[in-house]
Amino acid sequence: MPKIAMLGTGLIGTFYTMALHGARSRDQVQVVYSRTLDHAQKFAGEWKIPKATADLAAAINDPEVQVVVVGLPNSQHEEAVTLAAKAGKAILCTKPLARTGAEAKRMLDVVEKAGVFAGYLEDLVYPPKTLRALQSVRSGALGKVLWARSRETHPGPHSDWFWNKEISGGGAIVDMGCHCIEISRNFIGKDVRPLEVVCWADTQVHPIEAEDSAVGMVRYANGAIGQFEVSWTFRGGMDLRDEVSGTEGTIWLNHWLRTGFDVFTAVGEGGYVAEKAESQTGWLFPVGDEVGGLGYRDMFVDMLDAFETGRPARETFYDGYVVNAIMDAAYKSIESKKWEPVELDEWRGAEESGGKVALTDYDADHILIKEEKMPNGQTKVILKHKASGKIVQKVVTP
Amino acid sequence: MPKIAMLGTGLIGTFYTMALHGARSRDQVQVVYSRTLDHAQKFAGEWKIPKATADLAAAINDPEVQVVVVGLPNSQHEEAVTLAAKAGKAILCTKPLARTGAEAKRMLDVVEKAGVFAGYLEDLVYPPKTLRALQSVRSGALGKVLWARSRETHPGPHSDWFWNKEISGGGAIVDMGCHCIEISRNFIGKDVRPLEVVCWADTQVHPIEAEDSAVGMVRYANGAIGQFEVSWTFRGGMDLRDEVSGTEGTIWLNHWLRTGFDVFTAVGEGGYVAEKAESQTGWLFPVGDEVGGLGYRDMFVDMLDAFETGRPARETFYDGYVVNAIMDAAYKSIESKKWEPVELDEWRGAEESGGKVALTDYDADHILIKEEKMPNGQTKVILKHKASGKIVQKVVTP
Amino acid sequence: MPKIAMLGTGLIGTFYTMALHGARSRDQVQVVYSRTLDHAQKFAGEWKIPKATADLAAAINDPEVQVVVVGLPNSQHEEAVTLAAKAGKAILCTKPLARTGAEAKRMLDVVEKAGVFAGYLEDLVYPPKTLRALQSVRSGALGKVLWARSRETHPGPHSDWFWNKEISGGGAIVDMGCHCIEISRNFIGKDVRPLEVVCWADTQVHPIEAEDSAVGMVRYANGAIGQFEVSWTFRGGMDLRDEVSGTEGTIWLNHWLRTGFDVFTAVGEGGYVAEKAESQTGWLFPVGDEVGGLGYRDMFVDMLDAFETGRPARETFYDGYVVNAIMDAAYKSIESKKWEPVELDEWRGAEESGGKVALTDYDADHILIKEEKMPNGQTKVILKHKASGKIVQKVVTP
Amino acid sequence: MPKIAMLGTGLIGTFYTMALHGARSRDQVQVVYSRTLDHAQKFAGEWKIPKATADLAAAINDPEVQVVVVGLPNSQHEEAVTLAAKAGKAILCTKPLARTGAEAKRMLDVVEKAGVFAGYLEDLVYPPKTLRALQSVRSGALGKVLWARSRETHPGPHSDWFWNKEISGGGAIVDMGCHCIEISRNFIGKDVRPLEVVCWADTQVHPIEAEDSAVGMVRYANGAIGQFEVSWTFRGGMDLRDEVSGTEGTIWLNHWLRTGFDVFTAVGEGGYVAEKAESQTGWLFPVGDEVGGLGYRDMFVDMLDAFETGRPARETFYDGYVVNAIMDAAYKSIESKKWEPVELDEWRGAEESGGKVALTDYDADHILIKEEKMPNGQTKVILKHKASGKIVQKVVTP
């Protein structure tokens, strides 16, 4: 039953505390920090947290606290993590880990030198659907994963600092691309090295300096592609979907707008529908369990179980660093208008030699390219002659 | 942190223990009972439960135990509840409460006389989607609820005793109709008296004595209809859906087969897909969080929070009794082939005088029947003349 | 290239003419009739129809006309059909055929005595999805059909006469129940005799004399159930769905609100969204091809091909008569509050002796009741001992 | 009633003829050509076509023929079109128009010099859903279109020549990318110039020379992005979806795998399920109306109505040329690993000056960046100070 310091009282601090204090939990936030004492005290009152403070170091160094949860704006992660590492506390840091790969690397070094437990709070690899899908992938249901698309778009974030490039480090890529990139990495395999990135981004709607929309592709060492799509211009709520294609199968995940929960109301219900929902009447698509569905519940279960049992968490600071490095390459590509390499000081995964096409013999002389059922009930096979390379088709009468 | 006795080690005992021990929970099953000691010991080992026994009274009377969870075959509920009431323990009893209304009434009397906390474990009003939908209904988003359909069908239960009418008390109605009936009651309002039932049932596929399929309607005092559809003959997995219609809106819930999680696999993954799943390859529809999605998690949160704080649970033994009385009327209707009254020794809800049609004036002389947008962009209104009763239509040019 | 007389210029006449004149068609409406000459002339202008008249007999007896399409209010069907039969013209009559079984029988007799081609325009068995689904059922993909649910609900019809019981013959049952009943008959098999009906109906919302909501069940000679659900109180557009369950499979058809076409608009598009759509902004669910999706296109292809080649149409006046007889029983059941027999002067299908449960041997001594994959990867079978009737379960290790 | 020469008897010739001869059509294929006389004769027999020939010129020059439909492998388009243009016949050519932009330009010049009617048979902008969606876009329901994704993936084509780069001109991009590119152009606006392309492609699965998978982005002059995703490696059937995002709305189209038609069968039906379907049992997703749903019906209606009335078709040879030019840029980008310009000899659309962000005043001093409903019922606005550029948030109590 570790006691926790919660740094930050925004939407993310709220969701984290809901998850930590939810459903008969034995975990307890002991102290909450906000730059504004008033916010901290109000938050503590709402969530029955014993202490509230506007002193960052005091929160971290509180002797009862074993675990520090960093839910602050991106520009404050490094400071908080450094203080917590010095204090020898376990650290759980929200996404993105940092604003740049270099900043992330410094933070990684700090926690590793201090030898403290350090988890990366990438909640969107923890929704129960995603955990179940990853299990299917690992048990071979999809064969080799070839392509993973992760999409997060909505009408724009809820807090001022996201829109300020200096504090956040960027726009929609830094805000949401980090989710999508790490989701794809999980499906493709964290052991597979990300090689290079191409990315488009633009400020299509909002009068800001950073990008409000971006689409990028990450090419991995085994030939797989991780595609991310992010936008602060989407209309209709929050579009949170993943698609994964493998040699043997396909997975489609819809986390938010189509989950088997449809409501039509001519009159509304005078309140909150779901995160980022845009309308109050007509057809609405609420989410049953927002905290669970966004992965917060299972994320803290993994993090705190890992901390207590001494195993690494599913998502570590090294993962956060890789994601930042990929985002750096994306930003370079936006400028250079070409594929840019992912620069990693250190690669801890496998050294793969590239994807190879699997060949299936049809008969002694031919390789099978494809087999297809035709409308007339026949089956057609497409074959390549091994010697000549000539492609032929053949109808197989059942 | 109440200590719990789990009576029963079947699928329901497993799901209950998964929920109670899940996700950083502070709750603990202290002793597990099975008729077969070996089963109890194996279960205790799997779930890290300190004690296992084949002695029902010993489990219930264990001095450390405060809460007894009854997860036994229907024919054993009354005995277990009676023992637990005598022992002064809090009781949580699985669904259906009993095999008949009379049996349920005796159990209700026993716990009320003993003055113990008694919760009815109707998990399917606790899925997060359902809780959220009920909140929408209560906040008026649907106006007055007119009709609620709840459907649970699958290829048949997993344990022998369900198929034995003497032990279970019936077939698909007793197994699943109890869920559907209570779901509809929740949407229509538990304060609204169920008046009468008509029901069809048949043994369409399985060589058993009880019904393997049934469809029934419950008419409520305010004119609303609760429709239940159950079957052990459904093919394609477990079809678990609710539909609710009100004067101002509609809710559709799909709990199992279409929840935004689609998988295609040509090769399978060599294991369990989801409860009642029937195929291992092709398009599959797994469920991310079975324990949560079936309502087990939120059910025990409600029950144990209620127990600890001294408030009643959302679902009580009285609810279980009402459900049994409705099922009794359904079985009578199957025999008599007509509507049969719901016989309740005691009605604790409101005495309503019947639903009335709401009238909206269109103008001084006319009542509005309906307004509709036409394909040509015009709006048509259907009106009833107040004096003559004549129905006319009028096109309103925008 | 038969020339056609169109009787009626309401929404149904519009849809029929759109279908007949659509997509490079060789068919042509030659004359249009409306009680109001002005309506007929306006309609003729819009649809390039050579002649318009307010004289019913003149339209029918027009020497160029070979086929008379009856798209009039229910109370005028018999007169129009009688005139057309006398004139020796082919007759296509909209649904329901008549207001009662007796009226339908007279119309059936009239056309059969006259020896003219007579098709029943039940469009909702002709949507391409339904035709494809019926083909699957006939080719055995579902085994024996056990249950078919057909649902049509919307906020109420667009024309005054529907709401007037004298002209229409009833409320939502006569308006839409006829569709649902015939859809189920098609899935269950038109050769299977409908035996009895139980039905609930009520006036839940609108200030009218007839029912605005009804749910009923038709029991067939082979044990199958056809369930119909109709309402003029539904909110959210037009809910048009069919569900079919068989011993080997399941079919779900959604014809209107969820067809793979989702639109969100914050601003609307200032016009018609889809038939019965209720909102102009927010999430909308338009239909790509309304005329095709409601079955009008394929219905007229079948009817006119049948007429030209001398084969019977898929839907005949006899089918219309059976539907009316079933609706008569439904109305009786609403009054008597019990199952009522379907009274048919003449049954042209098979004489079946009732559904029997199929038995599958598991081994020499046992019948297989059910086989299920368990979460732990094992398979469980439920067996019934042939001699003793005892039910046992057995775990089969793979 | 134009008489038609059908060149080609493969799957595309079959679908075209089904569409042309379907549903009470007045159109007629008069002569069919195949390189192999036997194929032509068999096809003529099946489809009741008067003449069959293996002589290309004879088919085209047949004096009864007014319209030549080119359904041949890509490498034969130019020859056929050139012959038909010389013969003064109307020409409808299948997609892609040519193998390269240069070839397409020669074909465009040939038909324009000859002054013949020339339609580009891009069927996938003609599905009824797409036509309806385009109408919504044009009527302003989405505001300005910012992004359009079109995806076509399946397990690979059915005919040998597609797999042969020399005959087809490429792989999945040439086969399906042409569809996706033109779909996006339609949504973004054909008047908007495509400027540049970035594309990834790889041979991930099949032992062939061309790409079996590709993802690309086309940047348009107004800042919009058209994204295409194609693959011959997809598992689960044919994934045919479009997504469109605009400043005011969103459209999602699913053309194949989720159209409101779900079937489960434990036994199959012994035949064809749908184009590219991969399984015969389990959950299947057939398509009700393949010919209509793929756009063939409405495409020929547009083409032949256009031909008869002298207006241009919705899709012309110029459109086909633009698509080829975009594909050329995509292939260049695959090689160069950077964005490549779209090279068009002639641009017939508007000369736009680039997309600009729309500004909305919140008050005299601030621009509105975003407004959001919060979980606690409050509304938060994000504002940018006009003078300082500072970003602030403000909670608006309702």
Other beta carbons within 10 angstroms of residue A40's beta carbon come to 26
Report DSSP letters for C238-287, one per residue: -EEEEEEEESSEEEEEE-SS-SSEEEEESS--SS--STT---SSEEE---
Segment 75-104 of chain B within 8 Å of chain A by CB: none
Contacts of D377 in chain A (CB under 8 A): 270-272
Residue A268, pLDDT above cutoff 90: no
Q: Which residue has the higher pLDDT, C230 or D280?
A: C230
Give the closest of B235, B265, B266 to D264, CB-based: B235
Which of A83-97, A349-363, B174-188, D96-110 shows the lowest per-residue confidence on average (mean pLDDT)? A349-363
Which of B244-253, C264-273, D161-170 shows the lowest per-residue confidence on average (mean pLDDT)? C264-273
Q: What is the number of alpha carbons within 13 Å of residue B334 lying toward its C-beta?
A: 18
Report DSSP letters for A254-288, one per residue: E-SS-SSEEEEESS--SS--STT---SSEEE---S
Contact C251, C270 (CB under 8 A): no
Contacts of A272 in chain D (CB under 8 A): 373-377
Q: Which residue of D has its CA nearest to C251?
A: D263
Other beta carbons within 10 angstroms of residue A361's beta carbon come to 11
Contact D250, D268 (CB under 8 A): no
Per-residue pLDDT reduced to its tens digit, A115-168:
999 999 999 999 999 999 999 999 999 999 999 999 999 998 878 888 888 888
**d(Cα D32, Cα D70) in Å, to the nearest integer?**
11
- Taking residues A82-106, report their average pLDDT: 98
Q: Does B268 touch chain D (CB under 8 A)?
A: no
Q: Does D22 touch chain B (CB under 8 A)?
A: no
Contacts of B140 in chain A (CB under 8 A): 267, 269-270
Per-residue pLDDT reduced to its tens digit, C237-263:
999 999 999 999 999 999 999 999 999
Q: What is the number of alpha carbons within 13 Å of residue A289 lying toward its C-beta?
A: 27
Give the closest of A23, A253, A304 to B260, CB-based: A253
User: Helices A296-309 & A11-21, crossing angle to 10 degrees?
Assistant: 60
Per DSSP, the three-state class of C100 is coil
Which of B371-375, D8-12, D310-314 shows the lowest per-residue confidence on average (mean pLDDT)? B371-375
Nearest C-alpha of chain B: how many angstroms from D129? Answer: 17
Q: What is the number of alpha carbons within 13 Å of residue D135 lying toward its C-beta?
A: 15
Per-residue pLDDT reduced to its tens digit, D234-248:
999 999 999 999 999
**d(Cα D68, Cα D71) in Å, to the nearest integer?**
10
Which ipTM value was assigned to this complex? 0.94
Residue C267, judged by CB atoms within 10 A of its CB (0-12, 13-18, 19+), counts as middle
Cβ A283–C281 below 8 Å, yes or no?
Answer: no
Cβ B269–A136 below 8 Å, yes or no?
Answer: yes
Q: Which residue of C has its CA nearest to B394?
A: C160
Q: Output the pLDDT for position D39.
A: 97
Segment 351-390 of chain A within 8 Å of chain D by CB: 355, 357-359, 367, 369-370, 372-377, 380, 382, 384
Nearest C-alpha of chain A: how many angstroms from D156? Answer: 7
Cβ B292–A260 below 8 Å, yes or no?
Answer: no
Token pair 């950073």 is found at A210
Between strands C67-70 and C90-94, the pairing is: parallel
Report DSSP letters for B275-343, one per residue: TT---SSEEE---S-HHHHTTHHHHHHHHHHHHHHTPPPSSBHHHHHHHHHHHHHHHHHHHHSB-EE--
- In the DSSP assignment, the letter for residue A23 is T
**d(Cα D320, Cα D86) in Å, to the nearest integer?**
20
- Taking residues C106-113, report their average pLDDT: 98
Cis peptide, bond prior to residue D127, ω within 30 of zero: no
Segment 312-351 of chain C within 8 Å of chain D by CB: none
Per-residue pLDDT reduced to its tens digit, B332-369:
999 999 999 999 999 999 986 666 666 788 899 998 88
A388's CB contacts (< 8 A; 6+ apart) are none
Contact D6, D49 (CB under 8 A): yes
Nearest C-alpha of chain B: how many angstroms from D16? Answer: 30
Q: Output the pLDDT for position C375.
A: 55
Per-residue pLDDT reduced to its tens digit, B51-89:
999 999 999 999 999 999 999 999 999 999 999 999 999
Between strands A261-265 and A213-220, the pairing is: unpaired
Contact B241, B124 (CB under 8 A): no
The model's confidence at residue A353, banded by pLDDT at 50, 70 and 90, is: low
Cβ C283–A284 below 8 Å, yes or no?
Answer: yes
**d(Cα A202, Cα D212) in Å, to the nearest integer?**
29
Q: Residue B86: in which H helix or E strand, if any?
A: helix B77-86
- Full-model pTM: 0.95
Subunit partners of chain D (3 or more CB pairs within 8 A):
A, B, C
Contacts of B235 in chain D (CB under 8 A): 264-266
Nearest C-alpha of chain C: how many angstroms from B35? Answer: 16
- Taking residues B193-221, report their average pLDDT: 95
Q: Output the pLDDT for position B394.
A: 84
**Phi, psi dihedral angles at D301 (to 5 degrees):** -60, -50
Give the closest of C27, C133, C267 to D140, CB-based: C267
Q: Which residue of B has its CA nearest to D264?
A: B236
Structure tokens at D26: 């007045």
B·D CB contacts under 8 A = 37
Provide the phi-psi class of B237: left if phi over 0, else alpha when psi is between -120 and 50, else beta: left
What amino acid is encoded at C81 in this protein?
A: V
Q: What is the number of alpha carbons within 13 Å of residue B205 lying toward its C-beta?
A: 26
Other beta carbons within 10 angstroms of residue A342's beta carbon come to 22
Give the closest of B131, B135, B249 to A266, CB-based: B249
Contact B123, B294 (CB under 8 A): yes
- Tell me the percentage of chain B whose pLDDT exceeds 90: 78
Q: Does B132 touch chain D (CB under 8 A)?
A: no
Which of B203-217, B308-322, D294-308 shows the lowest per-residue confidence on average (mean pLDDT)? B203-217
**d(Cα C176, Cα D127) in Å, to the nearest integer?**
29
**d(Cα A87, Cα A60) in Å, to the nearest integer?**
7
The model's confidence at residue A370, banded by pLDDT at 50, 70 and 90, is: confident
Residue D40, pLDDT above cutoff 60: yes
Give the closest of A203, A276, A373 to D277, CB-based: A373
Contact B99, A263 (CB under 8 A): no
Token pair 């975990």 is found at A27
D257's CB contacts (< 8 A; 6+ apart) are D236, D237, D238, D239, D240, D285
Nearest C-alpha of chain A: how many angstroms from B170? Answer: 31
Token pair 């009617």 is found at D117
Contacts of B394 in chain C (CB under 8 A): none
Residue D215, pLDDT above cutoff 80: yes
Strands annotated E in chain D: 3-7, 28-33, 51-53, 67-70, 90-94, 118-121, 145-153, 194-202, 213-220, 225-231, 239-246, 249-254, 261-265, 282-284, 340-341, 366-373, 379-385, 391-396
- Taking residues C127-138, report their average pLDDT: 97
User: Helices B77-86 & B101-114, crossing angle to 10 degrees?
Assistant: 10
Contacts of C396 in chain B (CB under 8 A): none
Token pair 């949407």 is found at B187
Residue C197, pLDDT above cutoff 90: yes
Q: What is the number of alpha carbons within 13 Å of residue A312 lying toward its C-beta?
A: 9
**Phi, psi dihedral angles at D105 (to 5 degrees):** -65, -40
B206's CB contacts (< 8 A; 6+ apart) are B156, B163, B212, B232, B233, C357, C369, C370
- Tell me the percentage of chain D whose pLDDT exceeds 90: 78
Provide the phi-psi class of C196: left if phi over 0, else alpha when psi is between -120 and 50, else beta: beta
- Taking residues D211-228, report their average pLDDT: 97
End-to-end CA distance of chain B: 64
Nearest C-alpha of chain A: how many angstroms from D241? Answer: 13
Q: Output the pLDDT for position A328.
A: 98
D363's CB contacts (< 8 A; 6+ apart) are none
Structure tokens at A353: 């030699």
**Phi, psi dihedral angles at D7 (to 5 degrees):** -100, 110
Q: Which residue of D has its CA nearest to B285?
A: D283
Residue C187, pLDDT above cutoff 70: yes
Residue D136, pLDDT above cutoff 80: yes
- In the DSSP assignment, the letter for residue C176 is I
Per-residue pLDDT reduced to its tens digit, C56-106:
999 999 999 999 999 999 999 999 999 999 999 999 999 999 999 999 999
Per-residue pLDDT reduced to its tens digit, A197-253:
999 999 999 888 899 999 999 999 999 999 999 999 999 999 999 999 999 999 999
Q: Output the pLDDT for position B354.
A: 61
Q: Does C280 touch chain D (CB under 8 A)?
A: no
Residue B372, pLDDT above cutoff 80: no
Residue C396, pLDDT above cutoff 60: yes
Residue count of chain C: 398
pLDDT mean across residues, chain C: 93
Give the closest of C235, C264, C265 to A264, CB-based: C235
Q: Output the pLDDT for position C57.
A: 98
Which of B343-347, C169-173, C359-363, D230-234 shows the lowest per-residue confidence on average (mean pLDDT)? C359-363
Subunit partners of chain A (3 or more CB pairs within 8 A):
B, C, D
Between strands C225-231 and D261-265, the pairing is: unpaired
Q: Output the pLDDT for position C274.
A: 73
The number of angstroms, rounded, from the C-alpha of C252 to the middle of its chain's C-alpha atoms is 16
Contact B153, B242 (CB under 8 A): no
- Tell me the percentage of chain C whose pLDDT exceeds 90: 78
Which of A50-54, A178-182, C279-283, D183-187 shows the lowest per-residue confidence on average (mean pLDDT)? C279-283
C190's CB contacts (< 8 A; 6+ apart) are C319, C349
- Taking residues B296-315, report their average pLDDT: 97
Q: Residue D136: in which H helix or E strand, if any?
A: helix D128-138
Q: Output the pLDDT for position D336.
A: 98
Give the closest of C141, C262, C288 to D132, CB-based: C288
The model's confidence at residue B123, banded by pLDDT at 50, 70 and 90, is: very high
**d(Cα C295, Cα C289) in Å, to the nearest integer?**
10
Between strands C194-202 and C340-341, the pairing is: antiparallel
Its sign, for the CA torsion D84, D88, D94, D96, is: positive
Residue A252, judged by CB atoms within 10 A of its CB (0-12, 13-18, 19+), counts as buried
Residue D375, pLDDT above cutoff 60: no
The number of angstroms, rounded, from the C-alpha of B119 to the middle of its chain's C-alpha atoms is 14
- In the DSSP assignment, the letter for residue D95 is S
Residue D353, pLDDT above cutoff 70: no
**d(Cα D136, Cα D244) in Å, to the nearest integer?**
11
Q: Output the pLDDT for position D376.
A: 62
**d(Cα D233, Cα D220) in Å, to the nearest integer?**
29
Cβ B357–C275 below 8 Å, yes or no?
Answer: no
